[in-house]
Structure 1
Amino acid sequence: MLTDVTHATVLVADVDEALEFYTEKFGFEKRANEEFAPGMRWVTVAPEGGRTELALKAPTEDFFGDEAAKLRERIGQGTVTVLATDDCRETVATLEGNGVTVTNAPEEVPWGVSAMVEDCYGNPYNLVEER
């Protein structure tokens, strides 16, 4: 049976730009940065100590072939990924200080405190401090 989610793909226009954003702005750690074929890289990031990694993927023809153009149109249109935080308000203040776009300020919700932020391409992230 299925036991865990290990990776989720985030479509980005430029892997190096995204890697810098996720490590410098979000404070994630780089887990992998490997070239496995000419023009094809496996780059992953994750919160320090976190299990699930985000695979940063630029839709190039080398890797995606005829689907690349269609996938490039989806950059910034990703589904909402939920990120856990111990203190949503403090995390949002830190991220804002790092230049991260906050689309919804922290607010009390039935399950805790929630806020919305975006990466450098507009991919949405829901920050959740659970009760």
Structure 2
Amino acid sequence: MITNVSLVSVFVKDLDESLAFYTDVLGFEPRDDIRLGPDYRWVTVGHPSQPELILHLAIPGPPMSDDLVQAMQRAQAAGGLPGVGLHVDDCRKTFEEFSAKGVEFLQEPADRPYGVEALMRDNSGNWMVLVEPRAYTPADFDGASFD
């Protein structure tokens, strides 16, 4: 029986730069940085308030096919890969803090039926959503606009 989600992979362009971004900018903690043979490095980070969930920072490569690696690299270059969703206690304040650190935002904080949401990119171009959640019901979405 599955008991929880423990690992999520985020594909990045450079392990050292992404490790610095996730720790220095976003506030995650470094977890693992292990060489597994001459050509593979296992790098993970986690958030201090959620020790059971690990983000695996990975560069597209073997055992993926060359075609898949190339497609992922094209998606990375275009900034089209999804990343992760992050809950925040104050989306507008977090937006200001991250903007001051040079984080690229695709969408400034906006009120949504489920809370306040902003859309940003990590340093590899992955989309990341920041959400200051609030309680909602399906009826809250009637007539909602997400422009």
Distance in 1 between residues matched to 2:72 and 2:83, nearest whole Å: 17
Distance in 1 between residues matched to 2:49 and 2:34, nearest whole Å: 21
Alignment of 1:120 with 2:128, yes or no, is no
Aligned partner letter, 2:131 = V
Aligned partner letter, 1:60 = G
Greater strand fraction, Structure 1 or Structure 2? 1
Q: Which structure ranks higher in relative contact order (CA pairs < 8 Å, sequence separation ≥ 6)?
A: 1
Alignment of 1:96 with 2:99, yes or no, is yes
1:4 deviation in Å? 1.5
Percent identity over paired residues: 36
- Structure 2, unmatched stretches of 5+, are 135-147
- CA deviation digits over 1:53-83, x for unaligned, max 9? 211111235x546343333233242225210
Relative to the length of structure 2, the TM-score reads 0.79
- CA deviation digits over 1:22-46, x for unaligned, max 9? 1112121111111111121110112
Alignment of 1:21 with 2:34, yes or no, is no
Report how many aligned residue pairs link the two structures. 130
Q: Tell me if structure 2 keeps the 8 A contact 1:84–1:127.
A: yes
In the alignment, which residue of structure 2 is the partner of 1:56? 57
Distance in 2 between residues matched to 1:35 and 1:104, nearest whole Å: 37
Aligned partner letter, 1:106 = P
RMSD: 1.7
- CA deviation digits over 1:77-119, x for unaligned, max 9? 2225210111111111111111111111111111111111100
In the alignment, which residue of structure 1 is the partner of 2:139? none
Distance in 2 between residues matched to 1:112 and 1:127, nearest whole Å: 10
Q: Which has the larger radius of gyration?
A: 2
Secondary structure at 1:17 match in 2: helix
Change (3 A) 1:28 1:116: same
Q: Tell me if structure 2 keeps the 8 A contact 1:35–1:42.
A: yes
